[in-house]
Structure 1
Amino acid sequence: MSDPIFTLSFTNPFGLSGVSSYASPTFVDIDSDGDLDAFIGNVDGNTMFFRNTGTVNSPAFSAPSINSFGLSDVGYAASPTFVDIDGDGDLDAFVGEAYGNTLFFKNTGTAGAPIFSAAISNSFGLSDVGYAASPTFVDIDGDGDLDAFVGNGASNTLFFRNTGMVNNPLFAAPSTNPFGLTNVGFDYASPAFVDIDGDGDLDAFVGNGGYYGGSDMLFFKNTGTASTPILAVATTNPFGLSNLRNVGLNADPTFVDIDGDGDLDAFVGSGTDTVFFVNNGLSLVNTQANDILTGTPSNNDTVTYAAANSAITISLLITTQQNTIGAGLDTLTDVENLVGSAFNDNLTGNTLNNVLDGKAGNDTLRGWSGADTMIGGLGNDTFFVENLKDIVIEKPNEGTDTVSSNVTYTLPTNVENLTLTGTAIINGTGNTLNNIITGNNAANQLNGDAGNDTLNGGGGDDTLIGWSGADTMVGGLDNDTYFVENAGDVVTENLNQGTDTVSSRLTCTLPVNVENLILTGTSAVNGTGNNQNNIITGNNAANQLNGGAGNDTLSGSAGNDVLDGGTGTNTLTGGTGNDVFKFTTTGHIDTITDYNVANDTIQLENAVFTALTATGTLAAGQFRIGKQALDANDFIIYNNVTGALLYDANGSGAGAAVQIATIGVGLAMTNAEFVVI
């Protein structure tokens, strides 16, 4: 990892304000919602809480509350920090105060809903450090538990090694300025430990009390290891931190990735009522004129158009002068990130990992080929996703948003619609909202997930899965497969758009222009065809299959199934189980492929076979094996040579018998195989 380049970007940023003097900031996810909230101690001994109502990449802090969750006034000069000191999975609080004590507030609530018990002074072996205690906790020796460093008003940093355990800390007597730390001068020391250079060990920054209002931050690079630190001789205000020389008395640093770009930014409290935000990377502000804005190569530099008076069109692919429309003729060089205006902006990234923040308005954000983060904000936004690692961020109730993707993609929360583009075979998945998901002309799999979704396959042999919710599925051209999971699902196909299949766990009637039906799951559900030549397949339970019109193929699979071909010349296969083959029409010849005398039955509807007046098992005298009827009541004839099953309306052979089925040759058929209904 390269060294950071810190740029003083804002004071009291993102809504942090009104903290009073001697501001001591720290950032933790106190409510377990995935973003960093802020706590800022002040001169009055209070800890101000600023809840982050924004996102991981775009923080927005609400108005502060004082001593939230059970914290209390510590008297004077509060300096808070939060760690899970007892290993129970939630964050406990330690607050340093002006008289050198560190107060411990145990979290008796949960990780997402903290409740802090009454304060205990100098718990676990911590002790009075003199005055102006500024605590922080890190595992400096790599043994798995948290050690304590506490700065004081004598410009020293006291180290309390944890000789206990992860869930039962015990701090040894302190040593002063260990591992190469030194007295930082000017009556104050506020330590912070981070791996600023990405080499796997913790480096130290210590803010001091300043000189005539100008505080410094001393940097101690760890030249040792993660378990045996050796802190080199301090350098003063490195990495661009010299621009903080004027923060006023008492520089109080903390380091977090506040903008989700993968590097550590700095917040520095001061002796005034100001918190300074020092962005890791260059931040450039458009001035509404014709600007030339030049960043530092590969250093997460940002151009913001937040003050623009109209919509912006800007592309990081263009490094020469371009017409932004809303902010003049700008030239952007070595810039990675863009912040839009309150209008309908069009922001385009480049081949790097960009952050594009549209803010308000109906924005169009296109990250291009890098692993980009795109933040829509208010309005109906459109995101172009071209990398599997792209991140799209929307908050609830910020409009109806659409992702256009040429890679397989799952909609993130709070984004409604997905359109697949390009020519590749890619897939799209929805979320819990009512999504509209549209495929490209290749073979896509579209999955609606929860919600009442609309899936449009477009061209290609698509698979459409509505999942839960009452979904509308439109296959489009080619041979599509639909998975029906809800009784409210609607499948739509137009004429001559391929050979299509519905796969259903529910009782289902094929819609028009859909040819095939497969019943799935383990429930006894039924399937009915339409006026086309359908293929209908049951599951392993007891299904009732009806072909409707058309020349259909019905397969019962396992289970005790009832198969009715309907009109048309049908092929019926019962499969295993005790199956019933039902004849309710005439004028066509069905084929039973696997009739089993021991298990199967043929039902005859007497409203159609009118000579069979009595319901129940066919009378013995009404059945004959042979080529034709011989007496007055041979109504059902089985030709065991040809396998033909015939109906003779007069039973005597005087008129021509009508073949109704072919059931196989040489079967030991009797009247008991038939039931009149």
Structure 2
Amino acid sequence: MAIAPTLSQFSSAASFGEASVNAGPQLIDVSVVFGDADGDLNGAVLTVTGLLAEDRVSLLPNGSGPGQVQISGSDVSVGGVVIGAISGGVGATFRVTFNAQASVAGVDAVIERLAYANISDAPTALRTLVVNLVDAAGLGLTGPATFAQLTGAANPFGAIDIGTPSQPDGFSAPALSDIDNDGDLDLVVGEAFGSLLLFRNNGGTYAQATGAANPFNGVNIGYAATPSFGDFDGDGDADLIFGGNAGNIRAFRKTGTSFAEVTGASNPFNNISVATYAAPVLADFDGDGDADLVVGDGFGGLNVFRNNGGNFASLVGAANPLSGISVADFAMPSFNDVDGDGDLDLLLGAGNGTIRLWQNNAGVFTEQTGSANPLAAVDIGDNAAPTFGDIDGDGDLDLIVGDADGRISAFRNTASAGKPIQVTVNASDDSAVPIADGASVPEDAVPALAVLSNDPDPDGGVTTIAAINGVAVTAGTSVTLTSGAIATLNGNGTISYNPNGRFNALVSTATAAATGATNTTALDSFTYTVAGGGTATVSITVTGVDGTGDQLRGTAGNNTLTGTPANDTFNLADGGEDSATGAAGQDGFYLGAALSVGDSLDGGTGVFSGVEEDQVALQGNYALTLGANNLLRIESLVLLSGTNTSFGGSGSATYSYTLASVDANVAPGTLLTVSGNQLTAAESMTFNGSAETDGAFLFIGGRGTDTLTGGAQNDGFYFGTAGGLNFYAAGDVVNGGAGSDDQIGFRGSYSGGITLANNLTGIETVVLLSGSDLRFGAASSFQYQLTTNNGNVAAGQTLTIQANGLQAAESLTFNGSAETDGRFTIFGGTGADSLTGGGGADTFNGRGGADTMTGGAGNDTFRYFLASDSPNGGGDTITDFTLGDRIDLSAMDANSTVAGTQSFSFIGSAAFSAAGQVRATNSGATWTIQADTDGNGIADLSMIVIVADGHAISAGDFIL
């Protein structure tokens, strides 16, 4: 008995939005469970019917992996194996015809990839699609069976009556099988006297075949022949078994269209016999893939035999799944999947003409009564003999029933074929199709752009803007574009475009004509997205207007530009060998990374606060010796950091500058400032100005590694704090060059120390700037620690350490002890300094505060200008005074009570008696030196001097 395929968990409804199914196929149901207990799928056909002209049904592929569906042409593959071919689906039935490679799992995967699409902009709301699969046995998907009796001409067996005059109650036991292999079901009827009658199906009309045309002609079992068809030998065709009143079972093997009886040991049922009236049926009631045997008997009972490899063994007691099932008399069993769940249920005809139903639930058979039994109302009189077959070709199994009168009744299975699903397409307002726009906008204007004016709406609805540059917007929302311009959605659907000052570098066409500048326009763009629809681009051409922020810009070619009377900014970063000349303003020339020796940059005659101040700014990696015309009448060369975004940089770059000047770069008697004060610790600056003979440099160092070389004139080198423009933190090198007074200046908190190794040469003065000096930064207070190396001062030369600008809260700790052949002139500040000289004849100017001074080797001089340089009660200390050292008081006024400048007199250890006296007293090597400048007998100047060589302080130790 064939079992129809099943499809469970299939949705009865699906709903899609118009936009989604217009855009492409959408999966219908991805969680179905397909089953086919027979697995007869070779030649099975999956169909989807009920499509409207606008509908499209297809398979949506998802890959070639295990369980995945792939489409190639018309071939359908699952897991890389072709299991069928597709056709149709364009407004008409969609089909998948499966081949021998199809499996239950493969078909399940295909059904789960069924997809629906719709091509209409005004889709029909509802349609009912029907999904069906008819297997190779011709059985399709149905729900629980319902039956309607066919009467009169509608019953194809209505004319058959095998009763006889001598036996009007002729007994009929029907069975259906394709006897002649022509593709339709023929009817075999067992009759009361033990014979088998054949009625061939010819297009739905059944005509009796007699004599040799009946392969069962002459076969007789005695009385009450009851036939059944099934494959008892496992060769794939329907063999015949039939029983009779003697209780035995005869078997006929089918070969082609012939049937040959098998007897004795060849008959697998040879040893099976029931009490009386054997009514056998072959059915796989245990679901193990072979045909088992159930035999009804005349007493209404059922005898069960399980097929074990062709051997049929009786099941009794608990082993018999049909134990306890019986009817009053004449049990006529048949099996069919009545409830559509994929297994065989038991129908049992009874002697009283009724048909009872036992539902199979996982091998447990439970009787269904009343409305649960679709055949409960059937009563054909006596001896109901049911069997099933698809007599109308609709893919489900119909019921035919023989009776004690020799008639055959027919009941059509009226269950709906296939699985219906109501598909709803929810229409939506098709949005406008946005079309690209363009506009020309002055750099200082904010126009409202009617971008929707050229966007057609297929449905004629109101179009709204949902996003600008991908950012969701409502009326009043502003979006900053990549350029920095601002786009704002207005309440009337227009978009205001605000250049936002980001194009102020543009110039008017008039200025371009006068100066040679090429930057009269710039391009910008943004996108807008309409609600529920697409996206379009608005292209903006921003036009220049003269005003603040203008730049005179060239192209990548060779440009010639001239300035205006205003302060001009030339932007030549696009490259080429350019010639740019400023006029009377303070002009800037931005070259980016494009400066080459062929560029000519002339600052012109502009002055700023009485001083010419034209600048050239570079920004990029450089290894360049400047050309002679690169810096004409240029006062500053600025090296910009990669963090500077003023000219459109990303702000994340780092740059290295290696530059050398030629003598022509600095005009005679003028100063060129070379500034790296913006450079970060990761950026380096090398500048070689040694070719300069008649001009000077002021170098401002950066935070990274600086290597700076001056020229023949007096150059300046400036470094800020250790946390800012620090010196030597990254290995800075400074060479003052050939000038006679090259200076290096520091301003900042160097309390961690500056050690001047051989990285400082050719410098005559080190200036330590006070936090109160506002030329290079905001007000602050600094502490300095400075240590020199022997190589910092050339043999016989003097290095001046100038800290005289330091205030009371600031201090200097200087250590020059490594110096052997040079000398220092040291100026302390107002605070308490610690000053240490080297091996030469050093000069100390401690100035204010309680300074500690160590002269070191050599004949050192300690100079005082005012009594406040070392006041009584808070004076200086000289730690290593020896013969040859001098305390110089000659610049002081010894007597403040009279006009003019008087000299001091040394009175030894005597007490003061007049103004202008200097005395010295000691306790061992520690001497106290005092001076009275007002004659009141109290020291105005006082210091501690520690004599290192044991000599007594005398007048010879002073310059009075």
TM range (shorter): 0.3 to 0.5
Q: Which has the larger radius of gyration?
A: 2
Between structures 1 and 2, the one with greater strand share: 2
TM-score (normalizing by structure 2): 0.26
TM-score (normalizing by structure 1): 0.37
